[in-house]
Structure 1
């Protein structure tokens, strides 16, 4: 089954053309009257399965994009002419070459697009010139259809290249999961969520390294953190930050009543030493004996490490490893990520109304997603999508349903800003 989502760029709300669409266990909440598209800046996405989104850009977006493409063409030609001038100074030559390298990928795509548009015009003329030759018209029509599909693909790639980029998207990340309201049940769900991300990371071929775990009495996780590394990890997982609410019957419940609990998730882009320079005089490092479940887990050496960043007051404590050196290395990695995200949030709050949000207070009312186990469904409240395959999601199999929709919403926001800047 194919379905179409009309997205109002001004409101950033997706409205299905068929109410209560259900495809592969995924449903979209019916639109309210206020969400009806009224703007001329519309983008339509048709897809036969999740993960195969095919954007169809509106004429207004194409018009705006063409203005940008023409400017890039002129700029590329100017720079190319400059580097070919013998009288250009070494500084001018270096600056021009550097800018040309930045423009190269877009310029190559533009060249492909222009070539394809020329082919389309030729095929259209051929159909007119040979209108009496049915075989020729049929062949030209078939090739024209293929060429127009390729033209749309190139336009979509170019639009993406023109949208603002977050440099952190390509970075690795630090995952932090904390039990919120709900007592022991919240800690058990925190463990389930943490393992969900571990399985999802394995599916993606990412490296998932546990940084620290603090267990509850029932062996759930009060707090858990991990370092995840791989291709575009932060750009994919950044949408997971916020409050995840669960509705299910806890193992401690004797009467079979459904309880509601909450878990906080934070996703921090990992920072390099170049990004965040930690001076020894700004750090207070304490060592102590790590806690544990006793028995073979008991630690009789001061291997746990607590680092306090004096200027910010931020504290990171790691006791997961038996080696003090390894715990210190992990603590520094987490501290850099926290300080890097703090600075990013400060900058973003000045530049945009969309201030970076993190884990909140852990209260159920701040939820971004609800996991309802009795009904076997998960609902993401930011995009209004419900998936009825909760077991698959918890096994890391269908999480892309939500991540792809959230990425689409981010693109809608970027396109809205792109068009409003004209």
Structure 2
């Protein structure tokens, strides 16, 4: 990217950033919540580019000054100082250009959102449910490390432990943009607790990460929703309370069903179920967006394809392998304790490389 065209593009974005900042102080805009939310989102997205642009502009100006000094100065000591500054600034400018190129590529607009994380035991019976429970523990430990929050929307426990299915809402900074790489089939190879012969079995659990739909993302017609109430139940089907506090919502046009029984209050369960329903309806359209993006790239780290086998957890060897980027490490116990950031970082780097390649084609 030519230096002049980059500087002019950055100047245009800086003016747009300042203009949006002004608009956000307008009482009419503040009164229009939908418009204010959209402007605030755009403002936050532009901020890193504008800040990097400021550093780049300063570095380019300093480099020009150092070159002029080196060309005109007679004093050898001053020329040496200018030469050293040139040697420091040139690689820094190159790195800033790469950073800005990446920032200028359109991001997935959902990355900043909270997420709905669902984990389901797959093939493997009781062992799959136990593994789903292990993944639940791994993610909740990771969520705690990140300083995020989570709450369980619904769960169905396995007969031998773990979960047939568990759905949780995760809130924090850029939750979806970080956790989206976890969507797919996770495979485990180990000797099950139920195995008497000591043979290694393979079973699986599926993980789906959905960006949480905000109130302004989708208009729900309450006439399209059927509401059912039932008693929340615990392990073994025992009633954990005698009031009809659990909520099941069915969206009649799409057939999507969600339920929430985590809260004792029917009203709270209804609110949480409605949030999840909005998210699942929103994700029908979002899935089309992901398919469109994936079709434009030869490969993609986060396709949203939930049937793809993305990772293997091999207990006998203490090995984790992420098949999308040929990432292998031998610290399974730490990984299952929530130390998964390094793997996610490698996935982010791989996807950023793909995005840069796609933008330059």
1:320-372 Cα distance to aligned partner (Å, 9 max, x none): 33332222222111111111111112244456516952422xxxxx3100111
* Structure 1 length-normalised TM: 0.71
Give the Å deviation of 1:182: 0.7
Please name the residue that 2:164 is paired with. Answer: 222
Does 2:239 correspond to 1:332? Answer: no
Q: Secondary structure at the match of 2:111?
A: helix
Give the whole-Å Cα distance in 1 for the aligned partners of 2:180 and 2:267.
29
Contact 1:178-1:263 within 8 A present in 2 as well: yes
User: In the alignment, which of 199, 205, 228 is matched to residue 257 of structure 1?
Assistant: 199
Give the Å deviation of 1:144: 2.9
Give the Å deviation of 1:113: 2.0
Does 2:115 correspond to 1:173? Answer: yes
1:101-157 Cα distance to aligned partner (Å, 9 max, x none): 787764564454233123223334544556983x54553343333323432343233
Give the whole-Å Cα distance in 1 for the aligned partners of 2:80 and 2:194.
70
Seen in structure 2, the aligned counterparts of structure 1 residues 417 and 175 have a Cα distance that, compared at 3 Å, is same
Seen in structure 2, the aligned counterparts of structure 1 residues 111 and 334 have a Cα distance that, compared at 3 Å, is closer
Question: What pairs with 1:318-397 in structure 2 (closer than 5 Å)?
Answer: 318-350=260-292, 353=295, 356-360=303-307, 366-397=308-339
Give the whole-Å Cα distance in 2 for the aligned partners of 1:75 and 1:233.
26
Please name the residue that 1:120 is paired with. Answer: 63
Question: What pairs with 1:389-408 in structure 2 (closer than 5 Å)?
Answer: 389-397=331-339, 399-408=340-349
Please name the residue that 1:18 is paired with. Answer: none
Unaligned ranges ≥5, structure 2:
19-38, 297-301
Please name the residue that 1:418 is paired with. Answer: 359
Please name the residue that 1:312 is paired with. Answer: 254
Contact 1:266-1:358 within 8 A present in 2 as well: no
Does 2:175 correspond to 1:237? Answer: no
Give the whole-Å Cα distance in 1 for the aligned partners of 2:17 and 2:222.
46
Seen in structure 2, the aligned counterparts of structure 1 residues 240 and 294 have a Cα distance that, compared at 3 Å, is closer
Q: Which moved more, 1:145-154 or 1:375-384?
A: 145-154
Q: Secondary structure at the match of 1:170?
A: coil
Contact 2:116-2:211 within 8 A present in 1 as well: yes
Higher percent of residues as helix = 2
Q: Secondary structure at the match of 2:234?
A: coil
Question: What pairs with 1:238-317 in structure 2 (closer than 5 Å)?
Answer: 238-293=180-235, 298-317=240-259
1:265-302 Cα distance to aligned partner (Å, 9 max, x none): 00011111221222121001111222222698633222
Seen in structure 2, the aligned counterparts of structure 1 residues 267 and 126 have a Cα distance that, compared at 3 Å, is same
Question: What pairs with 1:84-233 in structure 2 (closer than 5 Å)?
Answer: 106=49, 109-127=52-70, 133=76, 135-136=77-78, 138-233=80-175
Q: Which moved more, 1:123-132 or 1:173-182?
A: 123-132
Give the whole-Å Cα distance in 1 for the aligned partners of 2:58 and 2:46.
18
Q: Secondary structure at the match of 2:178?
A: helix
Seen in structure 2, the aligned counterparts of structure 1 residues 138 and 265 have a Cα distance that, compared at 3 Å, is same
Seen in structure 2, the aligned counterparts of structure 1 residues 295 and 194 have a Cα distance that, compared at 3 Å, is closer
What's the RMSD between the two structures over aligned residues?
Answer: 3.0
Seen in structure 2, the aligned counterparts of structure 1 residues 143 and 351 have a Cα distance that, compared at 3 Å, is closer
Q: Which moved more, 1:144-153 or 1:376-385?
A: 144-153
* Structure 2 length-normalised TM: 0.82
